[in-house]
Chains A and B, each alone.
Chain A
Amino acid sequence: NAGVTQTPKFQVLKTGQSMTLQCAQDMNHEYMSWYRQDPGMGLRLIHYSVGAGITDQGEVPNGYNVSRSTTEDFPLRLLSAAPSQTSVYFCASSYSSGAYYTFGSGTRLTVV
């Protein structure tokens, strides 16, 4: 009963590098989302998906890319890391519209 699993837990990147944050859920949830949490800004939605093959932009999508080829996985790609992308990233999933959201434990990313 793993829930939502995020890897890695910590990552340091140099400016301009690219990387993928992994998110997997084993609850057969249709909806998955990525949020970033910054001091003073709260949690903000980056991208979300309502099912395999369907993704859409949230509030702060610039610099990030997503795809959803399976129900279980929803990776977040940083195309060219910038110091402004230093943040804690959370993946979340939900069974359906309006249902409980379950969050992963987060990835703390530092871009130097």
Chain B
Amino acid sequence: KQEVTQIPAALSVPEGENLVLNCSFTDSAIYNLQWFRQDPGKGLTSLLLIQSSQREQTSGRLNASLDKSSGRSTLYIAASQPGDSATYLCAVYNNAGNMLTFGGGTRLMVKP
């Protein structure tokens, strides 16, 4: 059974810092991996999707990397802002690409 772990569970940083969120998974036979953002009391917003054949994907200040062989992905946030405060979730696709297994999330607070 796939297990997904996100470390740290919570993170507080001052505005402007660059930061890295970690995601690890136990079964490397994944289809893709997707990073989401969730604001309190809201649904999930998709940030980045990395295909299993890719090493990284970028969108604005966000960069996600994937190392399938070691079962790891990282989400890099550059020049953090208070508006980045949210919970960040990674989800791995099973090898058929039709099911997601989620990590527990990292709750990020960026202080002004």
B103 to chain A, nearest CB (A): 7
- B82 within 8 Å of A by Cβ? no
Known pairs A42-B103, A42-B105, A105-B43; A97 contacts B34 (CB<8 A): no
Q: Which residue of B lies closest to A91 (CB)?
A: B43
Q: Is the CB of A42 within 8 A of B43?
A: no
Chain A at the B interface: SS class: strand
The count of chain B contact residues (Cβ–Cβ below 8 Å) is 24
Please tell me which one of the listed residues B42, B97, B101, B103 contacts residue A97 in the complex, with CB atoms under 8 A apart. Answer: B97
Residues of B within 8 A of A58 (CB): 99
User: What is the CA–CA distance of A11 and B99 in the complex, to the nearest angstrom?
Assistant: 27
Chain B at the A interface: SS class: strand
Q: Is the CB of B99 within 8 A of A48?
A: yes
User: What is the CA–CA distance of A43 and B93 in the complex, to the nearest angstrom?
Assistant: 14
A55 to chain B, nearest CB (A): 12
Q: Is the CB of B44 within 8 A of A98?
A: no
Q: Is the CB of B46 within 8 A of A102?
A: yes
Q: Mark A31-52, 1 if CB is under 8 A from B, else 0.
A: 1010100001011110010100
Interface set of A (CB-CB < 8 Å, partner B): 31, 33, 35, 40, 42-45, 48, 50, 58, 90, 92, 94, 96-106
